[in-house]
Amino acid sequence: MRCMAKSGDNLIEIKDLEFSYGANQVLKGVTLEVPRGKLVAVLGTSGCGKSTLLRLIGGQLRPRAGHVKVEGRVIHELDSGGLYAMRRKMGMMFQSSGLFTDLSVFDNLAFPMRELTDLPEAVIRDLVLMKLNAVGLRGAYDLMPAELSGGMTRRVALARAIALDPMLVMYDEPFAGLDPISLNQIAILIRQLNDALGVTSIIVTYDVVESLKIVDYVYFISDGVVAAQGTIKEVNASDDPFVRQFVDSLPDGPVAFHYPSADYAAELEIAALRS
């Protein structure tokens, strides 16, 4: 399976990316590309480095080796002004939604507009209501986050992620903890907004089933590297053991369920001798 775009068509190019948290090396040489205007998923088990990858794209972390290029510019080489300007072009939907609990839905969306633009309040009002209408929540503009359901909270977070019409939107586990109806709504909205706004989108998630319904291309990360990749058609037809374990939700395969440990029977025998 191969990437689907030529180098010049890519908004993001990641090459031999390595990153560690202390002695724990999370990424060991990740290489991937995200074409402009496409919706790409990065799948993997919890703790495999998916969210870390988003932080490296956003410049919150610096790689130990390799690089992340966005619009042809190496992120970790940008000065503070350049990084700030690049982040202005990015939208982020956080795993926990990240709404300001003391601000209304309206003010949550208006916040980045007020902080980062010189737009008059009347224009901000129209833009906020436009974004809320796109996610079906224009009528909830005056509610507080505590008054929202889980699905509504995610939709407000999605509206805020696109508040400044970014070129890139990143979604960190957008389906986690949602009921089936809300999950399906969020998935459809992500696809529709990607196409309607002409943005480039990255979803990092462990939800294979929902992702394969909406994305254009998939990367699987395991043991710090890209273990497999392909279009939806290629993924569904793949006989790669790693891909099949993920797609079919198999308990046994390249990804072990049990954390490395000593032989269980031997440990029980030692415990019995000690008792």
Does residue 153 contact residue 144 with C-beta atoms inside 8 Å?
Answer: no
- Let me know if residue 120 belongs to a domain: no
Task: Kindly report, residue by residue over 217-263, the tens digit of the pLDDT.
Answer: 999 998 889 988 999 999 888 888 888 888 887 777 777 666 667 77
Position 181 pLDDT exceeds 90: no
Question: Span 48-55, mean pLDDT?
Answer: 90
Residue 259 is predicted with a pLDDT of 64
In a domain, residue 112? The reply is no
- Flag whether pLDDT at 47 surpasses 90: no
Cα(218)–Cα(200) distance, integer angstroms: 14
Distance (Å, whole) CA 98 – CA 101: 9
CATH number of the domain enclosing 59: 3.40.50.300
The rounded mean pLDDT for the chain is 88
171 pLDDT band, cuts 50/70/90, is very high
- Of 18-27, 118-127, 180-189, give the lowest mean pLDDT range: 180-189
The answer as to whether 45 is a domain residue is yes
pLDDT of residue 240: 85
The single-letter DSSP state of residue 102 is T
Residue 210: half-sphere exposure toward Cβ, Cα within 13 Å: 23
Question: What gap in Å lies between CA 222 and CA 48, rounded to an integer?
Answer: 6
- pLDDT computed for residue 266 by the predictor: 80
Give the domain extent around 214: 7-89+166-274
Place of tokens 């590297």: 225
Q: Is the pLDDT of residue 166 over 60?
A: yes
The model's pTM is: 0.84
Whether the pLDDT of residue 184 is over 60: the answer is yes
Place of tokens 């993997």: 44
Average pLDDT over residues 37-43: 94
In a domain, 49, yes or no: yes
pLDDT tier at 177, thresholds 50, 70, 90: confident
Take residue 143 and report the two structure tokens written for it: 């509610």
**Are the C-beta atoms of residues 59 and 86 closer than 8 Å to each other?**
yes
Q: Which helix (H) or strand (E) holds 66?
A: strand 65-70
Mean pLDDT on 129-155: 92
pLDDT at 267: 81
pLDDT score for 6? 53
| pLDDT of 1 strictly over 70 | no
Domain assignment present for 246: yes
Residue the block writes with tokens 């068509």: 9
Distance between CA atoms of residues 271 and 28, nearest Å: 38
Establish if 128 belongs to a structural domain: no
Give a yes or no: residue 123 inside a domain.
no
Tokens (6 digits) for 244 = 């099949």
Q: How many domains does the chain have?
A: 1
Write the burial class of residue 275 (CB in 10 Å: 0-12 exposed, 13-18 middle, 19+ buried): exposed
Query: Dmax over Cα atoms in the chain, in whole Å?
Result: 77
Distance CA 73, CA 67 (A): 10
Residue 131 within a domain: no
Please tell me what DSSP assigns to residue 166: -
Q: How much is the average pLDDT of 86-91?
A: 92
